[in-house]
Structure 1
């Protein structure tokens, strides 16, 4: 059969570009199905809880919530969907169900951008695809990650599909404070984070940003619950981002956030925070601890807290100064940041150091599921009393001769 001029990845992307944002994935699925001869192509999006895949669907005529999207659980990691998300590799399997022709197959391809597991592409084909078709499916799934990342700026379709239950106002505010991607893979590091919300939002946030030679990471925990905590968190995160984008050092960033919180809340609300700036060449880390639990370092099969001296939380006292302390990462180190919801109340029953040692080779993205599942189990199925938030940074080093410079021991102090 002669190849059409609009076949291939370029044809897919041209068709998407010509479609309205709300129809981009529909057009992508239809065009890819035509190119590889699939009877069905569908995109399954990871839900907000990270526990299921949701088959992308449009809201009904009555608006969001009038249709329930099909969900596929990720709890059983031995099943094809869960294995594909974990292993991040394309799988060709027998097609499910009766009445299909002999030899019919199902293809599952991870839709991932820089380690952020956005979902899966699923194709049903009447016969096993050839190598060229599989190569196109793999490339198309990778391209779809960037299509979704771009198109969700223009429509709420992806938000509708990912949400299982209605979100409170505080929850809405909290989500808008988080980065768009919870995982980032770069040459020197892999980072993943997760926030398991309490029954009433507890004001936790995390953030990160990458520039040419530094990685910035922050974790904050605002006092209180619900909208009041969300508003405190908004002021703190907004101030920290503003300082970071202005090129300020960590001490100045924390001082500005402290002044903003004191000015607008009269010392009646505070935010704990841990701010890190990682030098991507040396592995040197600048750190500010504003009354927050210290990070945990996993090194050589052992877990210990990084010895940082805490300053006051932001918002407690006008004029508070914040010390920039320093330590250094070695290639192979894992750094884990936590809020108190991961270590207090029912979460105290979790053997956190033991989990980190047992799962020291687990990808950070999967480690987030391990940690949050352990906290939920410790809560005995009851709603969490406080947000439980974690962030994992795996440090690989710069990948050149300068890597040897990153071998010094961790030290505390200013």
Structure 2
């Protein structure tokens, strides 16, 4: 990122020289000096995904009983900005004009930057806020490696040991926009953690995906999930095939003993032509939306990892086409109370949503159908295939859950 008159080069240099916990303060000073901005804060989505937490230049100001105070996300301006990825400008008031801009890196919505400008209608200042928000995304992605501030700040509810383990097994970014595809995951934990995980990784010519569901609840399931995910990642990083990855996860659970079992689905996508390989280890079949129609992918299910079987894991083929949306899911999305949610209809209704928002919306619908209390984790991994050389499309304003005010 180069300096284009808004002082962004100096901003990034100042951020590199400041302590990692001072990211918001550095950006605030930049906007104050450049545009006379005031009341500057960064708001990010909490771990549950239903509230945003305000972080001002003085971290920890919005606390209550040792936890951050959340602001309901649904129907708010912040929800609109996160969904559409476009800035929102309020009506001028005596004290200035409120601006809310998205803070996003490669499709990963970190939150929003809220700023008050003294002069409404100043296009240069508005662009400067948007550029600063974009820079803040890069700064936070770097700084959160060195501090628990963003982890701690997003905890509006207590986090159990099992939830802590589960959270650390997930990718550091729940969404990635890249050449040819968008992938996004969402996990809503049960009241007693159910051992779900999702994962993805990008190579030069291959996209790797996985979704798993460990047997049991709480720490027992979290530890089984750790074994499975660790084995899968180790095999993947060693360059082993998708079937070899499945074997490594299976062997890890067998060696653990005591009837340990984890269902899973592994997928490799060739980024050149969209051809995919899938291994299904006792897992629910994915849903494929193509040309507005939704069908289950007819996969043969092998036994779960950890269950002895005379039949080897086999990679099954799927040819993705531009415009396809594939939804990988765990059985928590289909448990008795969640079954009243028509997932194919939700996919069709949410086809205009970005994959990130579709995943969040679908899991939210399941949570609502269960009265806010899940008996099993509800997890999805949403893959949009755009085709080689095509970028992700933005969300649309007429998508489900959009604000009407």
- Which structure has the bigger radius of gyration? 1
Match of 1:349 in 2: 340
Deviation at 1:15, TM superposition (A): 1.2
Residue in 2 that maps onto 1:240: 232
Determine whether 1:211 maps to 2:211.
no
User: 1:141 maps to which residue?
Assistant: 133
From 183, 187, 211, the equivalent of 2:179 is: 187
- Of 104, 107, 114, the residue aligned with 1:112 is 104
Is structure 2 residue 260 aligned with structure 1 residue 250? no
In the alignment, the residues of structure 2 paired with residue 30 and residue 171 of structure 1 have an alpha-carbon distance, to the nearest angstrom, of 36
Relative to 1, partners in 2 of residues 1:151 and 1:297: Cα closer, same or farther, differing over 3 Å?
same
Task: State the match for 2:84 in structure 1.
Answer: 87
CA positional deviation for 1:133:
2.1
Contact 2:182 2:385 survives alignment (8 Å): yes
Contact 1:272 1:291 in 2 (8 A): yes
| Contiguous gaps of at least 5 residues in structure 2 | 391-405
Q: 1:173-200: CA deviations, max 9, x gaps?
A: 0000000111111120111110000001
Structure-to-structure mapping, 1:15-414, within 5 angstroms: 15-56=14-55, 66-76=65-75, 79-94=76-91, 100-101=94-95, 104-128=96-120, 130-266=122-258, 268-317=259-308, 321-381=312-372, 383-399=373-389
Contact 2:299 2:316 in 1 (8 A): yes
User: In 1, distance between residues paired with 2:109 and 2:142?
Assistant: 15
- 8 Å CA contact 2:235–2:245 kept in 1: the answer is yes
Cα distance between partner residues in 2 of 1:67 and 1:279:
47
Aligned partner of 2:403 in structure 1 is: none
**Cα-Cα RMSD:** 2.0
- Do the aligned partners of 2:70 and 2:156 also contact (CA within 8 Å) in 1? no
Pairwise CA distance, 1:59: 6.4
Q: Residue 94 of structure 1 aligns to a residue in which SS? A: coil
Residues 68 and 324 of structure 1, relative CA distance in 2, 3 Å threshold: closer
Aligned to 1:12: 11
CA distance in 2, matches of 1:82, 1:60: 23
1:330 and 1:7, CA in 2 relative to 1: closer, same or farther beyond 3 A? closer
Question: Aligned partners of 1:82 and 1:95: how far apart in 2?
Answer: 21
Q: Residue 60 of structure 1: CA displacement?
A: 5.8
Q: Distance in 2 between matches of 1:300 and 1:365?
A: 20
Residue 132 of structure 1, CA deviation: 2.5
TM-score (norm 1): 0.89
> Does 7-16 or 295-304 show the bigger shift?
7-16
1:53: Cα distance to partner? 1.5
1:411 matched to which residue of 2?
A: none
What is the Cα deviation at residue 248 of structure 1?
Answer: 0.4
Give the match's secondary structure for 2:90: strand
SS in structure 2 at match of 1:194 = strand
Q: Deviation above 6 Å: which 4+ runs of structure 1?
A: none
Query: How many angstroms apart in 2 are the aligned matches of 1:373 and 1:70?
Result: 21
Partner Cα separation in structure 2 for residue 60 and residue 360 of structure 1: 39
Alignment gaps of 5+ in structure 1: 401-414
| Residues in 2 aligned to 1:68 and 1:388: alpha-carbon distance in whole angstroms | 25
SS at match of 2:337: helix
The CA distance in 1 between the partners of 2:27 and 2:256, in whole Å, is 48
The structural deviation recorded for 1:265 is 2.3
Aligned counterpart, 1:405? none
Distance between the aligned counterparts of 1:68 and 1:288, measured in 2? 41
1:277-318 CA distances to partner (integer Å, 9 max, x unpaired)? Answer: 000111100110011011110011111111111111001117
Deviates more, 1:291-300 or 1:38-47: 38-47
TM-score (norm 2): 0.91
Partner of 1:410: none
State the 1:371 CA deviation. 1.0
- Whether the 8 Å contact between 1:56 and 1:158 is mirrored in structure 2 is no
